[in-house]
Amino acid sequence: MGNLRMENIYLPDLALIDRIVDETSDTKTFTLHLADAAKNRRFRFKSGQFVEATVFGVGEAPFGFASNPHSPRQFDITVRAVGAVTHAMHVLKPGDYLGIRGPLGNNFPLDEVTGQDILFIAGGIGLPPLKSLIDPMLDRRAEFGQFIILYGARTPADRVYKPLLQEWRNRGDIQFLQTVDTPDAEWKDHVGVVTTLFEKVKLDIKRTVAFTCGPPIMIRFVIQDLLTMGFAEDRIISTLERYMKCGVGKCGHCAIGHKYICVDGPVFSYRQIKRLPER
């Protein structure tokens, strides 16, 4: 009696942890590669896609890719400890392994938006998935018009990728603005919710595509403001989040209307989001 010869879509591949970076008090970035060398060579993903990561014996949870799809043979996921799986991941060390299934889900438009002005609005832990798009776009900086990144967090300490944010600030060819709800003594940047940054930048609405990711409540206000500014519904791109288990459209948890976030998403334009029966 053999085992399933056909592909078992629920069976993960092993991935080894190369590096772990502490981002905030409850968030870490894991750099991984697949243990099987051949598989790792073939491993390709696109900005906006995600993986299901397993701690064997604890469970599985989805994470968006947080690194440049073009960086070879490694990928990052940024993990905030909120549930059982993420807490278990946080005690792992470099050299430990995880189970990985993916890449899964759809992706952000990239080639489709060349020539456009680009606006990113990220909140807290919503930056990592956008980073997987920002990185390759900045590699091809010349192909885009104005390039703006707005980032909001609860406190300065809650910001992820702090060295990278500094790099962005120092770059002359992009505009990077950041704000926090509650500043500390050293904070010299903006204070307030991320939407307050809109008045600090000049946008050519008609030629701008907006990408936004963050807590559901933030996304709601961001989209509201963008629409008021005159953004077309299909030029607002966001990601949706739900409790997700299988990642392959079978378990039913992440369904909104007849769309499954794991296969039809996680990336949706506001035009698509608007048509979903529950929001």
Partner 1 sequence: MQASAKVTVAKHDFLEGLGRCMKETTVIAPVKMKDGEVTFEPVRTAKQITFDYVNDHDPLKRFFMPAREELFSFQNARGKALLKSPPLPKPRVLFGIRSCDLQGLAHLDHFFQGAFEDQLYLQRRKSTLIISLACNEPLDTCFCICCNGGPFLESGFDLQLTDLGESFLVDIGSRAGRKFLDDWKVPCQTAKRKDEQLRQALMHKCDEKMIPTAYLAKACIQITNNRVREEVWDEMGAECFSCGGCTHVCPCCSCFDVFDCTEGETGQGTRYRCWDSCQYSGFTREASGHNPRAKAKERVKRRFYHKLSYAYIQQDGHPGCVGCGRCITVCEAFQQLDVPAVVKRLRRDG
**Residues engaged in binding partner 1 (CB under 8 A):** 1-12, 14, 35, 54, 56-61, 82-83, 86, 95-97, 99, 216, 241-243, 245-246, 248-253, 255-258, 263, 277-278
Q: CB 107 → partner 1: shortest distance, Å?
A: 15
- Exposed/middle/buried for residue 246 (C-beta within 10 Å: 0-12, 13-18, 19+): buried
Nearer to partner 1, 22 or 36 (CB): 36
Q: 212 vs 9, 44, 150, 254, 268, CA distance in Å?
A: 30, 24, 9, 20, 10
110, amino acid identity = L
Q: How far is the CB of 14 from partner 1 (least distance, A)?
A: 6
Q: In whole angstroms, give the CA distance from residue 220 to residue 126.
A: 13
Kindly tell me which of 105 and 156 has the beta carbon lying closer to partner 1: 105
Q: Which amino acid is at 7?
A: E
Q: Which is nearer to partner 1, 35 or 205 (CB)?
A: 35
Q: Which is nearer to partner 1, 55 or 113 (CB)?
A: 55
Compute how many other C-beta atoms are within 10 angstroms of the C-beta atom of residue 91.
9
Closer of 72 and 257 to partner 1 (Cβ): 257
Smallest distance from the beta carbon of 250 to partner 1, in angstroms? 6
- Whichever of 97 and 187 has its CB closer to partner 1, that residue is 97
Count of residues in the chain:
279
CA dist., res. 269 & res. 277, Å (int) = 15
Least distance from C-beta 109 to partner 1, angstroms? Answer: 20
Residue with tokens 């591949």: 13
Quote the CA–CA distance of 51 and 138 in Å, as a whole number.
23
Minimum distance from residue 190 beta carbon to partner 1 (Å): 25
Task: For the CB of residue 220, give the shortest distance to partner 1 in the complex, in Å.
Answer: 13
DSSP-based three-state secondary structure for 36: coil
